[in-house]
Structure 1
C-alpha cells in the first residue's frame, strides 16, 4: 500500500463510499471507519449543507484540506470514506491507498433516488440539488478520480459484501 495503512475511498457523491467503508470494517474488524464529511461537521458543529450555504464551497474545500492534513499525520489502519470532491486535496497519497469507486451517473442517481430514505440522501448532498448540474460535475470529475487512484473498483450493480471481499483481496 502507498502512504499509511489506511484505505481512502473516493468517488462521486452517492456512489456508496460510506456503505463500503462500514462493510470493510465488518469484514476486517482490525480497521475502523471514518467519514470526512462527519469529521468536518464535528469540527465545525455545522452541517455540510449549511457550510456550503453560508460560507461557500471554497471554505468547505479548505476544511477538507485541514481534515486531510490531520488524517495524514494522525490516523492509521482506518477505512476513510470521503466527500465527492475530497480527491482534490493535496497530499492524498500520504493518507493511504486511494480507491476510486467507479460507476456511471445514471446508476448513482437511481441508487440515491430509489433508496428507502431518498429524501434524506438528496437533502444531505447540496451539489445534487440540480440533477443536470450534478451530471455536469460528474463528467468534469470522472477522469480526475482515476488519475489520483491507486485502485479503481467498478461498483455498478454490485453488492457491498462482494465489493469489500474483492477490495480486501486486492489489498492483500
Structure 2
C-alpha cells in the first residue's frame, strides 16, 4: 500500500470519498487543509484574509514536504490547489475526483450545510472567477492524475469502491 492523494476542484467531494475509503480499506486518512488550519490555529478563510494566498501556498509546501518524508499507507485529501506542489508525484498515487463545474456547485448548494461550505471556501466568493479557476485547473488535474474517478451523480460510497478497485489494478 502506498499513499493515495485525492486531488480535484474544491467541493468535488474529496473529504466525503475519503471517509468512505477508510471505512472499506486499511487506509487512514488525513486532510492537508485540516493540517494547515491546525498549524496556523485558524481557518483557511482567515489565513487567506489575514495572510494572503501566497502564505497559504507556502504552508501547503511545508505540508507537502512533511508528507513526502513522513507519511506512508495513507489517504491524503488535498485542497484544490495542492496539486501544484512540485513533489506531489513523490508523495503517492494521484487520484483525481472529477466532475463538471456546474455539478460541483449544485452538489455544494444541495448539501445540508451549503452556506457553511461556501463560506469556508474563499475562492467561491465570486462564481465567475471560480469557474475560470476551474477551467484553468481541470486540464492540469487531468495531466497530473494517475487515476481519474468521475464523481458526477455518484454516491461517495460508489466513488470509494471505484477508487479502491482502480488503485488495486494500478499497483
Give the TM-score range, shorter chain.
Answer: over 0.9
Is 1:11 aligned to residue 13 of structure 2? no
In structure 1, C-alpha distance between the alignment counterparts of 2:80 and 2:99, rounded to whole Å: 13
The one-character-per-residue Cα deviations of 1:89-116 (angstroms, maximum 9, x if unpaired) are 1110111100011100000000001111
In structure 1, C-alpha distance between the alignment counterparts of 2:167 and 2:110, rounded to whole Å: 31
Size of the alignment, in residue pairs?
Answer: 168
CA RMSD of aligned residues (A): 0.9
The one-character-per-residue Cα deviations of 1:23-42 (angstroms, maximum 9, x if unpaired) are 000011x2111000000000
1:21 to 11, 18, 24: 18
Is 1:35 aligned to residue 4 of structure 2? no
In structure 2, C-alpha distance between the alignment counterparts of 1:114 and 1:159, rounded to whole Å: 14
Structure 1 stretches of at least 4 aligned residues deviating more than 4 Å after TM superposition: none
In structure 1, runs of 5+ residues without a counterpart are: none
In structure 2, runs of 5+ residues without a counterpart are: none
Q: TM-score, normalised by structure 2?
A: 0.96
Question: 1:12 Cα shift?
Answer: 0.2
SS at match of 1:56: helix
Q: TM-score, normalised by structure 1?
A: 0.95
